[in-house]
Amino acid sequence: MTKGSINVSVENIFPLIKKFLYSDHEIFLRELISNGTDATLKLKHLTGIGESKSEYGNPQIEIKIDKEGKKLHVIDQGLGMSAEEVEKYINQVAFSGAEEFLDKYKDSAQDSGIIGHFGLGFYSAFMVAEKVEIITKSHTGAPAAHWTCDGSPEFTLEEADKESRGTEIILHIADDSTEFLEESRIRELLNKYNKFMPIPIKFGTKEINDPDFTPKTTKDKDGKETTEPHKKITVDDIINNPNPAWTKQPSELKDEDYSSFYRELYPMQFEEPLFNIHLNVDYPFNLTGILYFPKMTNDMNIQKDKIQLYQNQVYVTDNVEGIVPEFLTMLRGVIDSPDIPLNVSRSYLQADGAVKKISSYITRKVADKLKSLFNANREDFEAKWDDIKIVIEYGMLSEEKFFEKADAFALYPTVDGKYYTYDELYNKIKANQTDKDDKLVILYASNKDQQHSYIEAAKAKGYEVLLLDSPIVSHLIQKLETTKENVSFARVDGDHIDNLIKKEDTTISKLTEEQKTQLDTLLKEVIPSEKFSIQLEAMDSDASPFIITQPEFMRRMKEMQATGGGGMNMFGSMPEIHNLIVNTNSELVGEILSTKTKKKQERLINQSLDLARLSQGLLKGEELTNFIKRSYDMIK
């Protein structure tokens, strides 16, 4: 038997590991299983090239709990180690980065991502164990070795009588970590970190129906049938899927395979995804994965099921910011890349060159897929538009490359349910919706019901009205106005339709300048100036007498601030002021002006104003109650 000290100059390495990684201590199982998987895959390679004396067979990794003995076993059938290899890989190499680790982390416990990064994976076992044993036998046929360490730098190493190839790690679980002796807790961790590991993982046994047994059915004398119970057999409980969909070529998979894998990833999701994007690249970096577009709502904050990040089928995290472009974090699915370290901080990821390339590749791949889906079946794409538009619009805002590609598939729906690409829309409306200053005005509504009368007024002029109702639409049209030449967007309730798209011909007012001054004075005596800015306009005589609008710029700035416009708080604090456009050619307005009694004039003005407010959803509470009572009185 050999005794010795682990090759590390600082004796407090184990307390430091426990302290720095305590918040993440459950990952010890992931690290040990990853090591076992690595040893098994290396054996597969060596047997494949004839460099091993051992047959590969059908190896698996087994996890066993000995609750009474307070032990947890992790057993693999991989390469195994000789005593010399244990000395080299466990006592020396694992701690080659120990002092660097101490220098970097002794003053800061903020970054828990150090285990895999500094070759300390095996020693994560000491976060939960007071003593760890390794019993291992090499594939070369060298004598088996037994290594023991109690969490100090002291260890023992002796021969063992293990017959089978591979490594068994025995963790003597510490008193403060007995949760890891519970089957439910271990099963939870295996499902979280090891669900798709490439080597089968056994955790206990289960009973299933014997596939080779056919139950017999017999009849009694009365002709009643009885079927004998199904024969049960006990099999290993393999808790993982070693060959998940993303590890296969897209040509190997059908639509039902993608749907089945989605349910495997998210068993609590009952809605099918709209479509998927299969990522598969091996240059200039390695990356595979499948992303799914779920049905989206307009609430951008809801994200119950996130994209999962794997490294060689080992789960890393579902916090993929910095790897996946932010607008795609609303999607679901899996990304797997060996180029992403298992344990690193987010700031490290965001600064990493390979990760930046991965992010821009995913952006390009998603844009290309959306374009091909649009070209292949436009009708289907249009039907799904409402469920995916929030992701696409957010991408157009946040990623310049995506914005450039989006002209090929981003849609602009109208209130009548037609869908245009930007170029199609431009060509359709250019002749009719270009104003006297040669600027193209794109009209849009955000709510068909609330803005119905304004939409109808625009349609009466032969104008197309888009329906843009996502929460970030103000940001998007601002972006479009700055990138598309000589174009402006105007919401249909932003002004009277003739002011939104000003043409050369102007309607002549029936009122004289003196009458206009008289009307203006009268209106300002009755209508509160802190709520309404009055403007007299000569419009068609059959247009509404009073029209309430909200200035496009002010409303848009407020909306942008409400959805993260940043730096625009001055607009949020401003009072809600609306324009009141009074049609000087309206018969009712003429009647208000000619009415002899002040009281009747006020009543007509208030009633007309309240009708205009009602059409905009601005009449509420006590004012609405009073309006209804007053209207009944007028009927009587």
* Overall average pLDDT of the 430-453 stretch: 91
| Digit-coded pLDDT (tens) for 233-275 | 999 999 999 999 999 999 999 999 999 999 999 988 888 899 8
Spell out the long-range contacts of 252-256 with Cβ–Cβ below 8 A and sequence spacing 24 or more: 253/278
pLDDT, mean of residues 84-107: 63
Residue length of the chain: 636
Task: Please check whether the domain covering 12-204 is classified as CATH 3.30.565.10.
Answer: yes
The CB density around residue 372, as the number of other CB atoms within 10 Å, is 13
Output the DSSP codes for 137-203.
E-TT-PPPEEEEE-SSSEEEEEE----SSEEEEEEEE-GGGGGGGSHHHHHHHHHHHSTT-SS-EEE
Residue range 245-378, CATH number = 3.30.230.80
Check pLDDT > 50 for residue 566. no
613 among the known binding-site residues? no
Q: What ranges in 484-551 are assigned the alpha helix state H?
A: 497-500, 513-526
What are the start-end ranges of the E strands in 304-461?
A: 308-311, 314-317, 332-336, 412-413, 419-420, 440-445
pLDDT at 574: 58
**The pLDDT value given to residue 109:** 41
Nearest-5° Cα angle at 210, 204 to 211: 115
The 3-state DSSP class for residue 499 equals helix
Model confidence band, residue 97 (pLDDT cutoffs 50, 70, 90): very low
Q: What is the DSSP string of 58-77?
A: S--EEEEEETTTTEEEEEE-
pLDDT tens digits, one per residue of 512-536 = 888 888 888 888 988 888 888 888 8
Q: Is 127 annotated as a binding residue?
A: no
Helices 587-594 and 598-615 pack at an angle, to 10 degrees, of 150
Quote the pLDDT of residue 58: 93
Q: What angle do CA 127, 131, 135 make, to 5 degrees?
A: 115
Q: Is the previous residue joined to 284 through a cis bond, with omega within 30 degrees of 0?
A: yes
Residues ≥6 apart with Cβ < 8 Å to 492: 443, 444, 445, 451, 454, 455, 457, 458, 465, 500
Domain ranges for the chain: 12-204, 245-378, 411-500, 513-635
Given a cut of 70, is residue 506 above it in pLDDT? no
Q: Distance between CA 111 and CA 108 in Å, rounded?
A: 7
Q: Which CATH class is domain 513-635?
A: mainly alpha
Please tell me the number of Cα atoms within 13 Å of 147 on its side-chain side. 28
Mean pLDDT across the stretch 622-636? 85
- Secondary structure (3-state) at 453: helix
What are 221-241's pLDDT values in tens digits? 888 888 888 889 999 999 999
pLDDT at residue 164 greater than cutoff 60: yes
Give the pairing type, strands 440-445 and 487-491: parallel
Q: What is the pLDDT of residue 567?
A: 44
The verdict on whether residue 31 carries a ligand-binding annotation is yes
pLDDT interval class at 175 (50, 70, 90): very high
Residue 23 binned pLDDT confidence (cut-offs 50, 70, 90): low
| Percent of the chain whose predicted confidence (pLDDT) is above 90 | 39
| Contact status, residue 149 vs residue 6, Cβ threshold 8 Å | yes
In this predicted structure, what is the pLDDT of residue 119?
47
Q: Give pLDDT, residue 70.
A: 97
Confidence of residue 594 (pLDDT cuts 50, 70, 90): confident
What is the model's pTM?
0.74
- In whole angstroms, give the CA distance from residue 408 to residue 128: 54
3-class secondary-structure state, position 465: strand
Band of the pLDDT at 593, cuts 50, 70, 90? Answer: confident
What is the end-to-end Cα distance of the chain in Å, rounded?
110
Mean pLDDT of 194-209: 93
Q: Which of 418-422, 478-482, 503-507, 628-632 has the lowest mean pLDDT?
A: 503-507
Mean pLDDT of 293-297: 80
pLDDT-wise least confident of 133-137, 165-169, 214-218: 214-218
Q: Tell me if 96 is assigned to a ligand binding site.
A: yes
Q: Is 81 annotated as a binding residue?
A: yes
Give the fold, CATH level 3, of 411-500.
Rossmann fold (3.40.50)
> Sheet containing 532-537: which strands, arranged edge to edge?
532-537, 578-583, 546-549
